[in-house]
Amino acid sequence: MPPRTGTVVGIFGVLLGVILAVQLAFNFHGSSRANQFSRSLPLQSTRADKSATEDDIFNVGIGKADVTGVFTLVLFIIENPHKPDDTLLFYLGTRSRCWGYSCEKMVVLQGGLAAMGAEITLDTNLTNLASVRNPLPMLDQRGSQGPGPPTGLSFDTKDLVDGNINRSPYSYLANPEEERKRYQYDTDKTLSLIRFDRASDDKTTGILTFYSVHGTSLFANNTLVSGDNKGVAAYLFERAAKGDDRFAEGFIAGFSQSSVGDTSPNTLGPFCEDTGLDCKFEDSTCGGSTAKCHGRGPFFRELDQGTKSCFEIGRRQYNTAKEIYENMDTSAKRIRDNSAVKAFHVYQDFDGYTFPSPFNPRKTLTTCSAALGFSFAGGTTDGPGRFDFTQNGTDSPSTKNPIWRIARDVIHAPSKEQIACQKPKKILLDIGDLTFPYAWAANIIDIQVLRAGPLFIIVATPEVSTMSGRRWKQALVNKAKEVLGVSNPLVVLGAPSNTYAHYVTTEEEYGIQRYEGGSTLHGPNTLAAHVNLTLTYLPFLSASSNNHPDPGPYPPINSEKSLSFISGVVHDNPPIGKKFGDVLKGPEMGKTFRPGDTVNTTFVGANPRNNFRLEKTYTAVERQVPNTNRWEVVRDDSDWNLVYRWERKRPIIGTSEVTLEWTIEDDYYSLDNKKKLESGTYRLHYYGDSKAPVTGQITAFEGIGPAFKVEA
């Protein structure tokens, strides 16, 4: 079933929520001291000798939790408002890691992300998988495992060329030619991988990767809840690890984002859906409208709402990560203990922040209160906007439409100072000063960097464009050499993380005002501000430093004020003469199913909101153990090819149906699966929970479908 996930869309498309997935957690104590650990772990540019020595071992805690929330009758960021999601492809799991000698907390989120600006505890780092189809429940510490066993770390990289394209190449070309000539591609093609090996037996307990591609493979008309291509990559790696003696039981694969801002998984490029011709290069329009300009994934001709293209982009990331893993014993860099393992996490108010430019110290720059431009509403080729909005925020037809200006001024008219600060952005939503019922966008921004010897992880709050990421990482490389004495810094960037801050572009890209520039909240100097603050606090990561930075102004805690527009379940009822779990329609009688075929069973169902079934399952494919009456589970919610579809039939009475849909995987979908399908007798098993009228009591029930034959 499609991976579970979540998000909220606000007025005029304002992103009031953003999704979670993959990641790291140091033991952050930004409120009181710089983060320090008992061990220090630099990376040596030597082969990754798996024979551990005392100076390259430290404790690593690894955890994963099911974070799938409400997935019926909700809209996601990229969504057709007439098609609320009611289907589950496969569950979404967060992956987290705690490095150091005493890791007290892992991923903790108090309250949902229903409100932009909902904050995480200081002990936490959350990095987004950037799927736009992830409902999110409340999380707690149940998914963390705490401090783990002594572990060795290795690091390596490999280019994945066909895993992304630049969806705003016109903006990218605005960067200086001499700068662009330093790079072969207009997106970051490098996939970086950190491997965690348990010292006691050399078994790999986890991997963490960074690669720049948006989780926007699935189409806007899709109703499947999914972890998108990042979820696929993690699913494939974890599946391949089962039965492989090199991996520890409970192995976890984390696939996180990097410089994702202007990237797309729709690698064939954008085309006009009516003519089949290229979209207009400058603003991605077709006949002056953005609505018909769509990016095409590798399998765009499949009539599956982008599902196979999504799987393919995840498959490519998995393949590259697996290639890296297979060669790490002879090519990777081993993290060794000749420097401190530290981190800092502070806050900065970007409303009127004045600072010296990190790129030209003779210049003094200022950031602005948060605002979104007209091109923000133009959307992207992954999810086009509507009406007369385009990705040309300085000369879009919408900028001349009095309706939008009146609507903007009714909400909050920008001041002359704000207009000048955000220039050339033409402001559609001046949201930085809007605080009812809570802040519409973040002005107080997290600044965070993690260090393990020469390995530095920039934990960035916005979605960072390709060239922005390159400048940011290079600035840290230069400063680490100068201030920290690290001869060969290894720098990766994980984003978006912590408090969501929309996008960041270079100043030149900002001037073009496509979607990414229009979504850069704090004006043309946003990137420079992030880089300046990163470099300012870098000395606190010195191996000899016992000082800590001031944590800065704390952001508001909005979890108690978060609004939800998701209606509750009133009650469930079965049709007259039926009971919950009864089979309404089974597989075709007498048919033998083969790989590539799809099997369906429809049950009398109930609203899945009654029970999120976290760490459990709504669905199962069961195989009869030969010559017995016993059945074993061979597939569940975590499987890509098993889909759960819920359909409300009679809202007032409360009747609904659930269809379980299993596409029997062929060789393409069985990639590296050591537990491939066997011939035999199978059935589909549905787990549900109903809400009684009047009392509201929740009661669990099950539905078992008719048996059918499969010939593998």
Extract the annotated binding site for Zn(2+): 214, 463, 503
Detail the residues annotated as belonging to a binding site.
214, 463, 503
264, 369, 519, 559: the catalytic one is 264
Question: Would you call 320 helix, strand, or coil by DSSP?
Answer: helix
Q: How far is CA 202 from CA 147, 333, 378, in A?
A: 18, 16, 51
Q: How far apart are the C-alpha atoms of 369 and 427, rounded to whole Å?
A: 12
Q: How far apart are the C-alpha atoms of 458 and 464, rounded to whole Å?
A: 11
Q: How far apart are the C-alpha atoms of 578 and 584, rounded to whole Å?
A: 9
- Cis omega (within 30 of 0) on the bond before 608? no
Q: How far apart are the C-alpha atoms of 219 and 637, rounded to whole Å?
A: 21
In sequence order, which residues have a C-beta less than 8 Å from that of residue 650 and are 6 or more positions away? none
- Determine how β-strand 364-366 pairs with β-strand 655-663: unpaired
Q: What is the 3-state secondary structure (H, E, C) of 98-124?
A: EECCCCCCCCCCCCCCCCCCCCCCCCC
Question: Would you call 327 helix, strand, or coil by DSSP?
Answer: helix
Cβ contact 211:194 at 8 Å: no
Cβ contact 132:215 at 8 Å: yes
Closest CA to 463 of 215, 112, 113, 176: 215
Tokens of residue 470, six digits: 């390159």
What is the DSSP-derived secondary structure letter of residue 308?
H
Query: Does 264 participate in catalysis according to the annotation?
Result: yes
Q: How far is CA 199 from CA 50, 58, 203, 467, 589, in A?
A: 9, 9, 8, 38, 54
Q: How far apart are the C-alpha atoms of 517 and 9, rounded to whole Å?
A: 20
Q: How far apart are the C-alpha atoms of 442 and 421, rounded to whole Å?
A: 17
Tokens of residue 96, six digits: 């987290």
DSSP-assigned states of every residue in 460-477:
-SSEEPHHHHHHHHHHHH
Catalytic residues: 264
